[in-house]
Structures are given as structure tokens and as C-alpha cells.
Amino acid sequence: MSAAIPSVACLGVIGRNNNPLHISIFPSYDPTANAFTPIRNPLQFSLLLSSTIDVFDLRSKTSTASGDFGLLHAIDDRLAAYGFETNTGVRMVCIVDMRGRRVEAGGSGVAGQGSGAAGASTASSTSASAAAARSSVGSVGAGLRDSEIKPVFRAMQSAYVRLLQNPFYDPDEHAPLGGKGGRRITSKKFGDDMKRIGEAWTPGVTTL
Amino acid sequence: MDGYPLGSLDHNVPLIVVSGLTSDPPDQPPKAKGQGVFLRSDLPPLEGKEANFLESYFEEVDERGKSWTVVTREEHFRLRVKTVGRTFVLPSRRATLPETIEPLTNTPILHSPFSPLSPSSALYPDGLMNAQWIKKHQEEIPSIFVCFHTLTSDSKIAVQQDNRLKSALNSMRATLVESGYKTRLVVIILGDAEAKANLTAEIIQDRLEGVRRGTGLDPKSIFYIPPQESPSELRRVMDSIFALLYNTAIEYYRDLGRHARKKRSRGIVPQPTLPPTSGTSQTLSLPDWNFRYDFKSAIFAEFRQEIDAAIRSFEQAYEILLGQDVLDIIPSWSPRWNEARLLADIISIRCLRLHLWMGQTSLAVRRWQSHRDRISDFVDRRGRGTNNYGWQAWESRWAMVMANMIEMVEVPGLGPSTMTIFLQPEKALFGERLQPWELLHHTGYWYRIAARHLGARRTLAHRIPDDDRGAPDASPASRVASKAIRYDTYMCPPPHEEYPLNGNGINHAQLMIDCLLNARGQFQARKQHRIAAEISLECAREMATLGSWNEVLAMLRPLWEDKSFRSEWWLDISEEILWVMRRAAAETGRADIVVAIDWELMNERFTPRKKWHYDLAKSLDGVSSTSRPFITISDDVASSFISTSFAFRSKEGRAGETCLAQLSLKSEALQAAAPVTLSSIRVEFEGHLKPITLIHDSDLLTNSSETPVSVTLVALTEQLGGDAKESDESEKEDKNDGDGDEDKAKDEDEDKAKDEDKDEVEDKDDEKEGQLTGKCDLTLRPGHRQVFEMNIPLREPGQASASRVVLTYKTDTFELDYTLSLSESGKVTGWFVQGATKPRLSRPDGHILHIQPRPPKMKLRLVEPLGQFYANEPIPLRIGLYNEEDDSANVKLDIRIVGKVIPRFRVDAGEHKREVDAAEEESQVTGLALGHIASSSSLELSIHLDPAPAPTAYEIQIRADYHLESDAATPIVQVLPIHLNIVNAFEANYDLMPRLHPDPWPSLFDYEDLQDVSDGDVVQARGLAQQWCLVCHYASFATEDLDVVGLDLALTAVTPGGRCQVVNQPELSADGLIVAPKTMYEARFGLVAQKITLDDRHPVAIDLAFVVRWRRRRQLADGESNSINVTTMTVGQYMVLGTEPRVLASVLHSSQEQAGLVRLDITIENPSSHFLTFGLVMEPSDAFAFSGSKQTTVHLLPMSRRTKTYRLLPLARGVYIRPGLVVRDKYFQKVLRVIPTEGMKIDKDGLLVWVPPAPEAEEKAEG
């Protein structure tokens, strides 16, 4: 017996020149295949991330000083993009898959990555009860508040700050002043941080 | 929204039928079968402009009634108006029995023809509901039947006409009542102008009352419209009538709703007219009936615009429908299953609309989602599952429904102009945990979802096995049956139409493109250009599947041109766009785009595609192109895999010299790519540098091709404008392969190349400008950096910056010019050396060179300059011109002097001489032609400035304008500025001290002496005389020793009546006195001043000047002595020969033998004309002994003087002694100051007399 809960589908860092600095993609639960696979391919995620730039630009005229843009837009009924902008114009985007993870309806345990056992149980249960659970979760509010994404951005920002503290990381190389483009972040540590954040986040998590 | 039955989704508003304005269409006979209620009147329809206007007005109202926007309180009515003639047919209330059945024993209970109870209905026997019923109420049965009539103004036939009207209305009323419809009858009597003229208000009133009474209408149902001035007033009147009628209409629908609720509350299942005999013979159950009633109440509530009530009833109906008793028990193979789904959709759509009307946008989305979820659950459970194209078709339809609805309802705040992407949730849901999607996004998102589902639908459709794709008549019955079970054909075609084996099925791609274009429009309107671009890409992909390559190109071209994604380094996205576009360009034969994209894709930033040639030469393989295209692209359009930089060796150069420069080309191509051999490179400059063209020459292979960087020296050949004149300027610096043999070989090569590149040379010749050409190997391997080092001759001064590089690539199939810009400001470029991969000496703006003008090699110099010039000294300046040019020069000289006052000066240059008079501020000599100065020879000229009277400063600028004999056109300028600061050589201060004139004063009584006035012209002075001594302390302010050859005191002015002469002055040796700088020297001059006559009592003012005659000590080369300069310093004015008495002390030292006896003479002069008495008191002192009167009185006659003598014997020697002598004017009791003369001095206590030391001591001291 399981229900879908939100999970991070993709974390992206976009540089000052609107150039991609980092993209991490996380698998989502696919009920038909009963496996964890990314919901979109990397190209599509790139497109999704780049599309948020428009929203950032559109909102930056009216936005608050805090840099937290909250929900940028929902791409469809499953994916939604949340955004955060640092003082230096680096934008962090978190794309949430609203049905990216399964949770056992009885317990609160979050299904792990390769949860074969859980999958088997779902397969055996009737689809009717699954639907009921889904609707019940829906009524309880499987939704998401903007504030629930904040820990992700906090963690991303501190990871980025740690990256900046690395003397071998030259931010200008990644977003040349007044120039175009820029290199991507190659730091393995930063990538690991992103991976950790993306995998650890689930609604209600306050620190990452 | 299309696909749902007509009328099922309309916005239900009250229907009003207006009759009597138009004539019946003649070809519309009353319903053929004679069924229905036939409302007619024989009265003629109204005519005239009012009728026409009203007709158009009703059309307008009707049009407004079709709108899906919410009916607000401000809107007084929203109606559908149907205009008919004098006849109108209402549908019959009771269905007839089918003719086929045998007559029944008892009279059957007949039901409405739309009811599932009537055998003639489509719903019979177990259908739930269909759109027919809604349509019936919306279009066929009016809530109000309005008849337009007029009152005849002809009084003769008035009664008759009124009676006709009454009877017509009565019959109509009777028909309506009989039919059982509750439609209200309303009469509107339109007054015409004639009536207004003929009839009074009372008559009209009476006649109207008569009609009303005669027909039994209630007063609210009869209106009279008096003739109106203008259509707008008529409109206003009609508006108010409609506003009234609207309430009546609402009342009508309320009755209907009440009726439906009443039937529901009965709780019985009505029996059909005939029990069903075919099909399942199943009839509707009680829940089914309840559903019907709820649905009806909801629709009637919508008619009344009671949104809350409508939602409540709809939701109730929906729950019943999807509950256990209705949809659950309908078998999925039955057509009723799909009908029920349709009903569920219709209810949901209507609910969505109601939510949107109420501004509950998030609830609407939630409702949208929940309907989808519930239906998908149903379909999964009871139907054919969701994993087929039918489900995806519905999903896409469902998203489209939302998109269409948002547009049709015109949800406030979500229009394109608001630039909002999504709406915030309504207040009721504020603070709830909402799905992000529950915030209503604009329609672009919904269209995209629809497109996505269409894509899924196509994927699933393509999975249909071939067996199912055949036409049903061609396949066995069993397969047809299984197909019916397997495929969900709810609102979508069966498999053999969706994706037929033969022929075209559904054009999924086109559907998607339509959807995507809709979405793109929405995103573009909200400036979400990146999503719009993404959608363009999706569109292009779909168009590619359709093979409409031109459209693909049109779709992607803007993206390619504005470099979206590429300029921001979204590499994977740009790559995708490029590949799709390349394919389209190749298909459409756009060689330029193909090559440009190939050029771009060779960059190693992109992921290599397997089995791709990555060879520019093969770029146009398979591209059909008529001629050999000449392609021009630049780095604004397509980024390059070759990066270039250009650097000058130094920041500055000089015209006439050469400057080293490097052009570096780095190939950042994929390792798999083939080496690219450019045919030529052209570097263009901004400013005064000729373009450089490097031509490929495969013979000149670079010897270090294995290293990542190879530096090649390229010899440049200069071609002057047009005439291709060659000068071997820069052959010499070929140090890399600078052997003589090589050079020769190169020359030969050049000749060969000349023929080959003839056409090109001709091209360039047209430009009529010079250029530099070089030859080298222009092959670039991936990852290799080629550096070409060139020595560029600089010709003209100014700034030159490398602006762009044009790479030319030629193959048999095409020719490409790729332009790269170099003029990025702040670009850091460095200098490459052989063997190092990184450039050195990186500096910004390395591509900019400042070319200084050709330096003048003519040297101007001051010959033997003097360190300091002094006032009163003539200033000679010798200027040397040394021609260090290679050629003789023709020189003209300008001399310009600036200062406060410019003295006369003379320029002396061989035979050319000029003199310029003194002037204020500025003085100059221009155009002094000096003639030719041969190469490496010199010329000297001198400038003589007259002595300056006072210290001053001069700025002298000597400017030589010249040109070389060989190049007369280029003027060259050399300038020598000289700053002359002229100071005074001497400074002095002065002291005028009185002395005792030795001669006796003339006596007043000596008549002869006094009277003998004239002796010729010279007037002999006979007045009083005084002797003075002027002490001049002077110092040299020069920087060197000077020879002072003479010192003079000049009397510049004496008051008339006085006379003054210098009686002695210091004598200097012939060589003069060497005066060292900053040392004080003293000169004493004796002066005698005398008045001409004794009678003159006025004091005499004398003005003196101290004259120093000096010369520089420097030895001149040619032996001539330095000229003697005269510096005159004014001493100032002194007053002498006053009339006040004065006391002069003079001292006389005795000879050596008399042991230091000192004689002190006190001379009292009385130049006044009074008799004066003085008392002299001599104080004794310890320092000396004295003889003479200690106290005495001296009487002085006018113009006389007397001397008292004291003899002092000083007790000490070599010191000053202080004789305590006081001279007092007896009469005025005033002490006179005793004025010292030589050998004495005075301080504030009185006189001091110097006692020279004893001779022995003196000698000792001297020794």
C-alpha cells in the first residue's frame, strides 16, 4: 500500500550569464515499470532549467530582496520548478516531481532507491485501493508549500559557498563578467553535495 | 472542446423567442409530421426601421448570450434571443408511440420525446441523459414568447384591428396553455410615428387596456414602446424591458427546477411507455433517475445563473454517476458506458466553468485533476485500461478542454497582457498545502500537456498490432469483437482509423503542431522565450516527422539566428537544435546553413556523434545544390571551432618601421574531425594598416606539426594600391627558415602562386588598396594551434587594431568565408614562442597598436648652453641642426619667443639674418629658410637677444619644418623648446652716512664770495656743502664667479638748486675683482652735496644708482674677451642739506708716538637762520681720560659752524670707548644726537669711538 510523495527530480545551478553551471538529475519512481528512472532525459531537464530563466527574469522586476522566488512555475501536473537567486545573480533551481517517490501508506518510511520489496507489494494490491490511497493523500494535502523547498536552497547555497571558498575555483571563469557563457562546475564535492541534497530531501525535512 | 455534443456545454441562459418582426421564411413549412405545438398568428409582421433595428439588436443580445464569460451583477440580463416570424413551433410535449408496435390495450402513458421512457427517444430504454434535452431548453422552448405588434392609428379600423389582435393573442395563449409549456406570453406594442401624431396618450392607454383585458394578460406582460427619437433610445427602452423580462424568465426556470426536484423527491422509478423488448431490456434504476433529476436541476440553476446551486446539483449528479450504482454497473462494452463517460465529462466541464466563474481557480484545477484521476481509475478498473492510445487521446482532450475553457471564460488576471504565469490560489484555499499545478497556469502550459499526451497517443497508436489495423470488413468477426474490447474508442477513432494499415490515419504530428503553436503563442506573449524556443524545437521535430523541412527551417531559423541557448552555453540544447536544423537544411538544399552548422558542430564542446564524418569537405555530400555556392558566415551567426587571436609584439610602433605581430589560430575541433586546410586567411584592421592575406601553400609544411603549438614565421609581401608594386621589405626577418635557398624557393613559389591566384589578385585590385600577402601552410589539425608570426611594415601614424579575420575555405563543392571578430575590447592576448603551449606576456588589448608618426631625425640642439643668464647681459644662443636623416633635408625654421617683454633679437644663420624689434608678450621669426642640409651634416645658427633690463623668463620654441629630398610630401617637424630664466646678477643694500666736510663754510659776511654768482655758464656753487659717504653692500647672485671691472655711483637726479658730486670711489685693478657667488662685498663712495646759493633753505633730494660693470669669467674659444655688462641698481632717494642743526663727531688718532691720544672734534652746524645756543657736557669715564671743557656753552650764528675739541686718552686699547657727551639745545632744551663719522659708531646709549689697539698688539694681530 503506497502513495506518491514529492521528490527532487533535478537540481540546477545557473550562472550569472544564464549559463548552466551544474545539473543533477534524480530518478523518480515509475509505477508502471516499478523502478526508479529519471522522469525526463537530460536534454529535457536542460530545457526545463533554461525555461526557468524566463520566469526569473519576469519576476525579478517585482521580486523581494531575499532572493527566494518560491514556485517559478509548474511545468505540468507532476513537475514544478522552484527557484532561488543569490546576491551575485547565481540562480538555483529545484525541479520537484510531485509523485517522484512512494511512501507506504501505513508507515512513514520513505522508499529507498531500489525498493524491490515495496514494489512487489504494490503490484499485488488492487488498483482500486491504490486510487483510494491516492485520493486520500490528495485530500490530506500531498501538495507542497514554498517553505518546504527552502532547506534545499539553503543547503545548495551553503554548498555553493563552500565551493567558492575553494581558492582553485574561480567564479569569473564560470561566468565571465559581461561575457557570455562560462564553464560548468566540475567540483566532485559540489556534485556530491547536490546528490546528497536531492536524495535526502522530502517534504518536511528541515535541514539537509 | 469540439467533440462534445453540440449544445452540451453551452453557457445556459434564458431563451426568449421574439416573433412578429420578420416574415417567416417561406420555405420553412410547419414541421412535416405535424408534431409539436404550432403557435401562429395571421397578423402581418412589423416592418420599418424600428423593426430592422430591433432585429439587429436582438442578434447582438443573442450573440452576447453565447459568451462563456461569467454573468456579473452589473450585467442586467444575459439572454438568448430567437427571432421568428409570426409562426413558431414548440416541440411536442409527448412522444408518439412508434407505429411499428401493435396497438395497446390500455392507453399508454406518454412521456417526453427526450425521456428514456419514450420508445422514440435515443435514450430508450436505459440511457441516462443526452445533450438533446439541454438543447431543447436552450434552443427550442423559450421561457418567454414575445409578440411584437403595433396599434393602428386609423380610427376607422382601430376597433377591428384591436379585436384581431386580441383574438390572435387569445388563440396563442390557448395553444400555449394546452401544450402544457409554462412559457410566458408577452406582448410588446410598438408605437409608430403615425400613432404618435394621431393618438393621445389616453386613447393608447385605453386601447392597450382593452387588449390586455381582452386577452387576460397580466399587466407585466404587455409593453408599449412609444416611438423613439433615436435607435439608442430604443435600445435603452429595450434594455429595460429585457431586464424586466429577464426576471420573469428566471422565474420560469425556477419553476422548472422546482419541478425536477419534486420529481426526485417522489423517489419512484417511472415506468416506460412500453417495456423494452430489445437489447438488455434493462430500464433505468432509481439512482439513474436521481442522476437525471439532479442533472436537470443543475442545468436549470445554470439557466438562472445560480452558480452555487448549479455546482451542488452537478456534484450530486456526478457522485451518483460515478458511484457504485450507475457507472459501476454499466458494462464497458455497452455504448452506454461511453455515454456515461461523456456525461461525466460534461458535468466536470460545467463544474470547472462554474469554479472559474466564481474565481476558484485552484479548485478548478483540483476538480480537473480529480476528474481525470477518477476516470482513469474507472477506466483501469472497469474499462480498457489507461495504457492505450484512446486514454492518451482523452488525456490530451482533457487538457485542451481546460485550455479552451480558460480562454473562453476569460479568467481574469491570466490574459497575455498581465504577464502572469499562474494565478495565486483563491482565498478559500489560502494556506492549504497545494500542488504546484493547482495554481492555475496560463493556457500555454495546458496546450503543452495536451501536446505531450498527443505524443503518447501516437506512441501507443504505433504499437497497435498490424492485425488490428485493417479495416473491420476485411477482418474476421472474432477479431472485430476482440478489438472492440481491447481498444478504448471513447471520443477517438477505432484502431483502423487511428493508424490504418493502408492510407492515412490520424495526423498526430499535425495535431501536436497545432497544439504546440497555440502554446508557443501563449508563452511568447508572456516573454517566456526559452519555453517558446523549446516548443519551437518540439514543433520542428514533429514537422520533421511530417517531412515538411521548409517549415522546420522556418521554425528553427530564428532560434539559430538569435543564438538562443548557444550564447548561453546550453550545449546539449543547442546541439539538438543544430542537428535538427542541419537535417532540414540538407533536405531543403540550403548549403549555407549546412556548412555553417557543420562548421559549428566541429567544436569539441559538442558531444561527438558516432559515424559522422566531421569533415568540412564532405559537408555538402548529399545536399542538392545547383551551383557551387559561395557561403559567407560570421561568428555572430555560427560560433567557430577555430578560435583566433591577434597580438602585436609591442603596444607602440613608429611609422616607417616594422612591427612583429602574431595571428594565432586554434582548432578546437573534435578529435575525430578531419584536419581543415584553409585556402586563405585575411586579417583586417581598423585604422591605418593594410589588410594581411595569408595564402595556403602546401609546400611550406610546418616543421613542428607534432607539437600542440607551432609558430611559423611568414614573410609578407607588400602590394601597393592597385599597381601591385612589390617591395621586399620584410624578407629579411625570416629567421626560422631564413636560408638563402629557401628564400629563392619561395620566390619561385610566389611566381607560381601568382598565376594560381590571379583571379583573387584581380579581386583585390578592384579595391584599389594595398595589402600584404604571405604564404604558409594553413592546415589545422584538431587541438592544434597555428601561430603565424609576421613583420608588418607600418606606414601611417594612428591607431590600428585588428578588427576581424576572414577564413576562407574552398572545396570543389563550395566556398566558405568565415568572419571572426577580433575587436573585443579587453581581450587578453599573449605572445607565443616555439615550444610553449601557453602564451607569454599576456596583456589586454594586444590587438591594438599605436603607430607614432615618423620620428624626426633632424636633431636640434643648443650649442654650449649656459647655465644661467642674467639681466643686463646680451643673451647669445647657438642652435645646432644636425641632419641625421638618411637623405638631405630642406629646412625652414620658426622661432617664437614668449615672455612679458621680449627684447629685440637677431637671428643669424649664415647668409640669412633677421632682426625683430622688441615686443610685448610674443615675438617670432617665421619661415626662416635654411636651405638644404645634407645627410649627416649640420648647420648652426645663433640667436642674439638684447639684454633684459630686469629679471624675467622667456619661452623660446625653435621649430624646424623640413622634408626630405626623397619624400617631399611628408612634412616632418622637429621642435626644440628652450626655457630661459633671467635673474639679476647682483643685489645690494646701501647706507648713506654723513661725513664732515673739510672746507669752511662760506661766511654770510663775505660779500664778494657770495655775490660773484656767475662765471660763464657754469654756476659756481656757493651754498652750504655736506660730505656724505654711501656704503654699498653688494653680493653676486650668479651661480659662478664673476669679474667686476668697475663700480660706479651714478647720480640720477638732484633737486634743482642743489648740486652733488662723487668725490671718491673704489678703485679696482684692471682685471677687476673676482666676485664669488653669495658673498657680500662693500664699496664706499664719497659724496659732496652743495647748494647753489646760501639763501636756499630747502633740503636737497638726491637719487643715486649703483652701477656694477662686470663680465663673465669664462674664456671664449676664439680669444675675444667677454663683453662687459653693466648692471645698474637704483639706490634710492636721500634727503641732504636740511636746515636742522646737527652735531658731527669726528675723531683723529694721534700718531703712534703719542701713545694713543685721540682727538675728538665735535662740530656743531647751524644751517638755519637762527641764533642757537648749545650746551656741551662731557661726562668723565673710567675708560679714558680727557681734556677739554667738561661743560661749556657754544653760541652759533646762523649759517655757521663751530668745532669743540676734546682730547681723549683711552685707558684700554682695541676697544670702543664711550665718551659721555651730551649736546643740548639750550633754547629748546633738546638733546641733539651726536652723529658719528669715520672711526666711530653709535648705539642707543650714544657715541662710541674706536680705539685702535697698540701698535705691538696690532702687529701681533696682523701677524
Q: What does the pLDDT average to over B659-678?
A: 86
ipTM of the complex: 0.86
Query: Does the pLDDT of residue B426 top 80, yes or no?
Result: yes
Q: What is the DSSP string of B867-889?
A: S-EETTS-EEEEEEEEE-SSS-E
Gap from B334 CA to chain A (nearest CA, Å)? 22
| Least confident range of B431-435, B1017-1021, B1222-1226 | B1017-1021
Distances in Å between the Cα of B1081 and the Cα atoms of A131, B264, B954, B1034, B1239 are 124, 142, 30, 5, 19
pLDDT of residue A2: 62
CB B391, CB B376: distance < 8 Å: yes
A181 neighbourhood in chain B, CB within 8 Å: 567-569
**Three-state DSSP state, B653:** strand
Measured distance between the N- and C-terminal CA atoms of chain A, rounded to whole angstroms: 28
Q: For B1142-1262, CATH number? A: 2.60.40.10
Nearest to A74 among B373, B439, B529 (CB): B439
Residue A106 Cα to chain centre, angstroms: 26
Question: What confidence score (pLDDT) does residue B964 get?
Answer: 79
Q: How far out from the chain centre does Cα A29 lie?
A: 14
A181: closest CA of chain B, how far (Å): 4
pLDDT at site B706: 66
Between CA B282 and CA B279 the distance in angstroms is 8
What's the average model confidence in pLDDT over B1210-1233? 83
- Joined together, the cell numbers standing for residue B536 give 519551437
Task: Report the largest interatomic distance among the alpha carbons of chain A, rounded to a whole angstrom.
Answer: 59
pLDDT band at residue B401 under the 50/70/90 scheme: very high
Please determine, for residue B725, whether its predicted confidence score (pLDDT) is greater than 50.
no
- What confidence category does residue B761 fall into, taking pLDDT thresholds of 50, 70 and 90? very low
Kind and range of the H or E run holding B1242 = strand B1240-1243
Q: What is the pLDDT of residues B242-272, one digit of tens each?
A: 999 999 999 999 999 999 999 999 888 888 7
In angstroms, rounded to a whole number, what is the distance separating the alpha carbons of residues B456 and B462? 10
Pairing label, strands B144-150, B779-780: unpaired
In the CATH hierarchy, which fold is given to the domain comprising A2-200? Beta-Lactamase (3.30.450)
With CA atoms as reference, report the closest residue to B542 among B454, B442, B443, B444. Answer: B454
Looking at residue B1154, what is its pLDDT? Answer: 57
Mean pLDDT score of chain A: 79
Among B367, B435, B579, the strongest candidate for a mutation testing the A interface, having the largest count of A CBs within 10 A, is: B435
Q: Do residues B952 and B899 make contact, with C-beta atoms less than 8 angstroms apart?
A: yes
Quick check: A155 pLDDT over 80?
A: yes
For A166, residues 6+ apart whose C-beta sits below 8 A from its C-beta are A187
- Indicate whether A128 pLDDT > 60: no
Tell me, what's the pLDDT at A96? 93
Mean pLDDT value of segment B477-488 = 72
Residue B740, pLDDT above cutoff 80: no
As given in the structure block, the three cell numbers for residue B1192 are 661749556
- Identify the closest residue of chain B to A41 by CA–CA distance: B572
Q: Residue range B1184-1195: average pLDDT? A: 85
Phi/psi at B299 (5° precision): -65, -45
- Find residues 580-619 of chain B whose CB sits inside 8 Å of chain A: none
DSSP label of B441: B
Q: Are strands B658-667 and B642-648 parallel, antiparallel or unpaired?
A: antiparallel
Residue A62 has pLDDT above 70, yes or no: yes
Helices (H), B644-788: 740-756, 758-766
Nearest residue to A199 via CA among A116, A106, A118, A97: A97
Question: What would the pLDDT profile of B519-536 be if each residue is shown by its tens digit?
Answer: 999 999 998 999 999 999
Check pLDDT > 80 for residue B360.
yes
Give the CATH architecture of domain B640-852: Sandwich (2.60)
Listed by start position, the domains of chain A span 2-200
pLDDT at B1239 over 70: yes
Kindly report the CA angle at B145 between B143 and B150, in degrees rounded to 5? 155
What is the reported pLDDT for B741? 41
Chain A: residue nearest B443 by CA?
A76
Query: Residue range B1031-1047: average pLDDT?
Result: 83
Spatial CA neighbour of B441 closest among A75, A78, A44: A75
Confidence check: pLDDT of A111 > 60: no
Tell me: the pLDDT tens digits for B1098-1149? 888 888 888 888 887 765 555 556 778 888 888 888 888 777 888 888 888 7
Q: Cα(B412)–Cα(B434) distance, rounded to whole angstroms?
A: 21
Query: What ranges make up the beta strands (E) of B463-621?
Result: none
Pick the range with the lowest mean pLDDT from A13-27, A40-54, B182-196.
Answer: B182-196
Contact B542, B513 (CB under 8 A): yes
CA–CA separation, B625 and B590 (whole Å):
8
Is B866's pLDDT higher than 50?
A: yes
Length of chain B: 1263
A·B CB contacts under 8 A: 118
Beta strands B1172-1179 and B1220-1225 are antiparallel
Q: Write out the residues of chain A at the interface with chain B, using a CB-CB cutoff of 8 A.
A: 17-20, 32, 42-43, 46-47, 50-51, 53-55, 57-58, 71-78, 80, 96, 98, 127-128, 131, 134-135, 138, 141-145, 180-182
Confidence of residue A159 (pLDDT cuts 50, 70, 90): very high
Distant-in-sequence, close-in-space partners of B685: CB < 8 Å, separation ≥ 6: B691, B800, B801, B802, B803
Note the pLDDT of residue B826. Answer: 56
Alpha carbons B160 and B131: distance in angstroms, whole number: 46
B125 prior amide bond cis, ω within 30 = yes
Between B1220 and B703, name the one with better pLDDT.
B1220
Is the pLDDT at B153 greater than 90? The verdict is: no
Q: Are the Cβ atoms of B565 and A131 closer than 8 angstroms?
A: no
Whether B862 contacts B978, CB under 8 Å:
yes
Fold classification of B986-1136 is Immunoglobulin-like (2.60.40)
Among A27-36, B1002-1011, B1201-1210, which stretch is predicted with the lowest mean pLDDT?
B1002-1011
Determine whether domain B858-979 maps to CATH 3.30.450. Answer: no
The answer to whether the CB atoms of A47 and B534 lie below 8 A apart is: yes
Provide the pLDDT for residue B764: 41
- Per the CB < 8 A criterion, the answer to whether B143 and B15 are in contact is yes
Task: Count the neighbouring beta carbons within 10 Å of the beta carbon of residue B1126.
Answer: 15
- Show the cell assigned to B1197: 650764528
Contact partners, residue B472, CB within 8 Å, separation at least 6: B480, B483, B494, B496
Which among B432, B445, B527 is the nearest to A143, CB-wise?
B432
Residue A141 has pLDDT above 60, yes or no: no
Residue A140, by phi and psi: left (phi above 0), alpha (psi -120 to 50) or beta?
Answer: alpha
Higher pLDDT, B235 or B1247: B235
Is A118 a residue whose pLDDT tops 70? no
Which among B441, B452, B528 has the least Cβ separation from residue A51?
B528
What proportion of chain A, given as a percentage, has pLDDT over 90?
37
Nearest CA in chain A to B530: A51
Side-chain-side CA neighbours of B681 within 13 Å: the count stands at 29
Query: Which residue, B220, B221, B222, is CA-closest to B207?
Result: B222
Q: Which helix (H) or strand (E) holds B555?
A: helix B549-561
The H or E element spanning position B146 is strand B144-150
Contact A78 B527 (CB under 8 A): no
More confident of the two residues B718 and B175: B175
CB contact under 8 A, A73 and B422: yes
Mutate to test the interface with B, among A19, A53, A57, A73 (most CBs of B within 10 A): A73
Q: In this model, does residue B1024 exceed pLDDT 50?
A: yes
Question: What's the pLDDT band for B450 if we cut at 50, 70, 90?
Answer: very high
